[in-house]
Structure 1
Amino acid sequence: MRPLVVVGDALLDVDLVGTASRLTPDAPVPVVEDVERRERPGGAALAAVIAAVIAALSPSGRPRREVVLVAPIDTDEGASRLRALLDGRVRLVAIPSSGGTAVKQRVRVGDHSVVRLDTGSPVATVGALPAEAAEVIRTAGAVLVADYGRGTTAAPDVRAALAAAGGPVVWDPHPRGADPVPNARLVTPNGAEAARVAAAAGCPADGDGLAAVGVRAEALIRSWGVAAVAVTLGSRGALLSYGEGAPMVVPAVPVTGGDPCGAGDSFAAAAALALADGAVTGEAVAAAVAAASAFVARGGASAWDAAVDEPNVVADSSVDALLARVRAAGGTVVATGGCFDLLHPGHVATLRAARGLGDCLVVCINSDDSVRRLKGPSRPLVTATDRARVLEALEFVEAVVVFEEDTPAAVLDRLRPDVWAKGGDYAGADLPEAAVLRRWGGQAVVLPYLDGHSTTALVERSRV
């Protein structure tokens, strides 16, 4: 399997994380105390590590795609620390460089950045591209260009290699960076970058609505001569344009809190991996939006080295981070469960009522095998993956978890919600899950059920 090759500017990112409970007496600025230093790869190096994490989540049985980082690396202390962070995660093919390693330090209090301090030369002196680097680009399954404006993508040797890349090229641009090479399959500017470049190209579309973003994307395709542009819009998702016809808009899954730093790298990395696997551009952008949302939900760049287990379904990737955020804010976690095969008004009424009991709602659903054991061989009518997607589309559902057992006891023990809510005729009876909830002081409750609605009844009526 040919590797994913990431080309661009490698940085060293440092978070100085502390607490703040008072302001300085001489200025209205916080006093940050108990500071902990956390280092991570930055720029193209972060994009490469994120790509390696996403590649590790490939479906069972598929070989894991190698990720190779081609980037200028100096010989200073920052470069040594960066090499150590990359070791064992991605293969580094270094381009000789001088000018020092760029270091970006964020001072953070909780989930908020107070200030950022940048050191190191803004532009690196890039040496000749080694033969090994040119070869891995030529034989890549796909190439991701993570441009951070330090001069790598403007170097003639690098541009010549990218023009001859063997796989599709995804280009994540930077305001101070070079224009994408014309053979790029996909360019991924954010909304502000697209507006800036489009204005310079004589297309100053007003506003940030989809119509204006679409006009800018078409202008960028004409200006750069590339195949497609996907403008990332943060929590709004992304707009994909091929330069003519109606653009495709991929909405993002709503994420509460989280660190958005690195979301663009996650988007571009996921798109490049999808193209390497043979996806068409629209499929790649849809996968990229989902990956970026999941990345932010897991903690973003701040949690870059956290272990990530392959989720049962797309909707399950952010539940632990969600619960941590709600509990940190003193909120109440509510959970409910069931098969939810053929979602009907009774389900919706119960879910809405359950959400009203707390600050987030996690829905625990039976896996397909579990439903078959409970309901018979003809069920479920809808797979667990699709049931989860439908449930998470509801505005009052924050997360969905699939469990394999016949009862939710094990998943409840892992999630430990404050409230377990069930709809139906359990009033006055002890819910089976109540004993589990008592272990940590949780409460099982019964909610009114909208009479006359059940999946079994719907199925029977459809057979008449």
Structure 2
Amino acid sequence: MMRGPLVVVGDALLDIDIEGTAERLCPDAPVPVVDVTARRRRPGGAGLAALIAARQGVEVVLVAGVGTDDHGRELSGLLAEHVRLVDLPFQGATPCKTRVRVAGQSLLRVDSGEGQVLDGPLGAHLPPVLNNAGAVLVADYGRGTTRNSSLRRALRGLPSDVPLVWDPHGRGAEPVERADLVVPNRAEAAYFTGTQHLDSAAGAGRELLRRWGCRAVAVTLGCEGAMLVPPHRGQPFPVPRARSVRSSADVCGAGDSFAVAVALTMAEGSERPDAVSEAVDAASRFVADGGASHLATSQERAVATDPTAGRPALEDGATGGRNALDVAADVRRGGGRLVATGGCFDLLHPGHVRLLQRARELGDALVVCMNSDDSVRRLKGPGRPVVGEADRRHLLEALEPVDAVAVFDESSPSALLDELRPDVWVKGGDYDLASLPEADVVHRHGGRTVFVPLVEGYSTTRLLSGLSTAV
């Protein structure tokens, strides 16, 4: 378990994907005409790294500068849904990167906004945020954050038991020597070593380790995995990619996914080789699942002109009482990701709703596995449930994040999950893997379990206790 949140430090951008079709050429120029079907906005840069971590149920604090312009306000709104934002001094227009994409391929990228983080003093609130982190990830996108001298001093002074992972950028400052692991990609390693073509990732890693004085370097190599160069003249060794990915896949965000996985795995106590191996696999999964273009917050879905473009037909989440197995089959046919969660959902409260919202954000459809009345009585006692099975199901189906509800009579939803085979199984942060026998079923089918932090102050038992006291 992490002792504190993941703190992501870096340059936050606004990313916009314009999706469309191109079936004809412009009459006055030999360029395709793109008919727009959807516009999707999401945090980019360090904001994307923070979003990737938050989607895994991790508490995330993002330390970044954001402008006060329209793009900055929009970016702040997208971030507020998932992370706590700690501002850095910033001047100018918020950087924005817009991609025009057709049939899963990028045709054009347009960049705007030259705002920068200033080299000014930091507030007294920032050092405690860093020092109480479970891990710190620096996601440098060359917009001035890593050149802030006060921030660099604070990073050098991190407690020794807080892992510091640094994802560098050619336009940014070099990592501080305190970094436990620096993760340049092939192009960045070539840039920092001054070689036009990188012939040896191991040689580049050794040179960067010597130059930066950091504790280890892992050069990421895209579809070839990564090359880890350990400290103390240890022998470099390759970490191969764990799975194949189609050549046309969207690799945007793969590096952020790698860096996030390294930081989280090291925060849990893993050594660097294991952390890099897990990160290679995580980046491969991220790309295989659709890359950054696959991510969507509720705000992003709201601005799509065609919510079904390029995604399964379950985008809007309205159920109409659909059969859970039919929903699962539809998601798989569309190449999407099925999420499931479960519980009694007796006396529906804001904690339940937030759990369902976070669960739905992890994929393309959400199935709720709900305990039957008999199952609730066995678990909670003869006085429960307060709300009957039919009404509980109706309330859940009326919620926007829920695509279908499946009722089970057993004490555990294992048999139901064996049929649904979800990609992600979501439970509240009051559980762990040891207390979830159904997690083995999910993992056997290639899925994973994600724990979402609870909303403090809400539980059905507490509500019932309060009602009895009031009466």
> What TM-score do the two structures reach when normalised by structure 2?
0.61
The answer for the alignment partner of 1:158 in structure 2 is 151
The answer for the alignment partner of 2:238 in structure 1 is 249
Report matched runs for 1:76-87 at 5 Å.
Answer: 76-87=69-80
**1:406 & 1:45 partners in 2: Cα distance?**
36
Report matched runs for 1:412-451 at 5 Å.
Answer: none
The Cα of 1:23 is off from its aligned counterpart by 1.6
Corresponding residue to 2:271 among 280, 285, 297: 280
**1:142 & 1:40 partners in 2: Cα distance?**
24
Query: Which residue identity does 1:261 align to in structure 2?
Result: C
Structure 2 CA distance for partners of 1:36 and 1:305, relative to 1, 3 Å: closer
Deviations 1:63-118 (A, max 9, x none): xx421000112222111111110123111111131112111111111211111111
The Cα of 1:49 is off from its aligned counterpart by 0.9
Query: Which residue identity does 1:254 align to in structure 2?
Result: S
Alpha-carbon contact 1:98-1:126 (below 8 Å) kept: no
Which stretch has the larger CA shift, 298-307 or 34-43?
298-307
The answer for the alignment partner of 2:51 in structure 1 is 49
| 2:111 match: secondary structure | strand
The Cα of 1:26 is off from its aligned counterpart by 3.0
| 2:169 match: secondary structure | coil
The answer for the alignment partner of 1:188 in structure 2 is 183
**2:244 & 2:208 partners in 1: Cα distance?**
28
**1:156 & 1:321 partners in 2: Cα distance?**
49
The answer for the alignment partner of 2:224 in structure 1 is 236
Structure 2 CA distance for partners of 1:321 and 1:269, relative to 1, 3 Å: farther
The answer for the alignment partner of 1:22 in structure 2 is 24
The Cα of 1:306 is off from its aligned counterpart by 6.7
The Cα of 1:304 is off from its aligned counterpart by 1.9
Structure 2 stretches of 5 or more lacking a match? 299-328, 337-412, 424-471
**1:291 & 1:22 partners in 2: Cα distance?**
38
> Does 2:180 correspond to 1:178?
no
The answer for the alignment partner of 2:321 in structure 1 is none
Which stretch has the larger CA shift, 87-96 or 142-151?
87-96
**2:251 & 2:330 partners in 1: Cα distance?**
17
Report matched runs for 1:33-72 at 5 Å.
Answer: 33-54=35-56, 56=57, 65-72=58-65
| 1:69 match: secondary structure | strand
Deviations 1:40-65 (A, max 9, x none): 001111101111123x2xxxxxxxx4
Alpha-carbon contact 2:91-2:115 (below 8 Å) kept: no
> Does 2:249 correspond to 1:258?
yes
Query: Which residue identity does 2:224 align to in structure 1?
Result: R
**2:283 & 2:70 partners in 1: Cα distance?**
31
Alpha-carbon contact 1:260-1:296 (below 8 Å) kept: yes
Structure 2 CA distance for partners of 1:320 and 1:250, relative to 1, 3 Å: farther
The Cα of 1:38 is off from its aligned counterpart by 0.8
The Cα of 1:259 is off from its aligned counterpart by 1.4
Alpha-carbon contact 2:67-2:115 (below 8 Å) kept: no
Structure 2 CA distance for partners of 1:320 and 1:265, relative to 1, 3 Å: farther
The Cα of 1:404 is off from its aligned counterpart by 6.3
The answer for the alignment partner of 2:96 in structure 1 is 103
The answer for the alignment partner of 1:447 in structure 2 is none
Alpha-carbon contact 2:90-2:116 (below 8 Å) kept: no
Which stretch has the larger CA shift, 235-244 or 149-158?
235-244
Alpha-carbon contact 2:94-2:115 (below 8 Å) kept: no
> What TM-score do the two structures reach when normalised by structure 1?
0.62
**2:334 & 2:114 partners in 1: Cα distance?**
38
| 1:25 match: secondary structure | coil
The Cα of 1:320 is off from its aligned counterpart by 9.3
Aligned residues, how many?
310
Alpha-carbon contact 1:298-1:321 (below 8 Å) kept: no
The answer for the alignment partner of 2:345 in structure 1 is none
**1:105 & 1:21 partners in 2: Cα distance?**
21
Whose radius of gyration is greater, 1 or 2? 1
> Does 2:203 correspond to 1:215?
yes
Corresponding residue to 1:198 among 189, 193, 205: 193
**2:416 & 2:37 partners in 1: Cα distance?**
46
The answer for the alignment partner of 2:12 in structure 1 is 10
Structure 2 CA distance for partners of 1:205 and 1:81, relative to 1, 3 Å: closer
Report matched runs for 1:308-387 at 5 Å.
Answer: 324=334
Structure 2 CA distance for partners of 1:207 and 1:96, relative to 1, 3 Å: closer
| 1:73 match: secondary structure | coil
> Does 2:128 correspond to 1:135?
yes
Alpha-carbon contact 2:69-2:93 (below 8 Å) kept: yes
**2:146 & 2:332 partners in 1: Cα distance?**
38
The answer for the alignment partner of 1:446 in structure 2 is none
Alpha-carbon contact 1:238-1:289 (below 8 Å) kept: yes
Alpha-carbon contact 1:97-1:126 (below 8 Å) kept: no
- Cα root mean square deviation, aligned: 2.7
**1:31 & 1:170 partners in 2: Cα distance?**
43
Which stretch has the larger CA shift, 286-295 or 297-306?
297-306
Structure 1 stretches of 5 or more lacking a match? 57-64, 308-318, 327-402, 416-464
Deviations 1:215-267 (A, max 9, x none): 01100100111111111111111111115232221111112243110000010
**2:332 & 2:121 partners in 1: Cα distance?**
46
Corresponding residue to 1:224 among 193, 212, 233: 212
**2:99 & 2:196 partners in 1: Cα distance?**
33
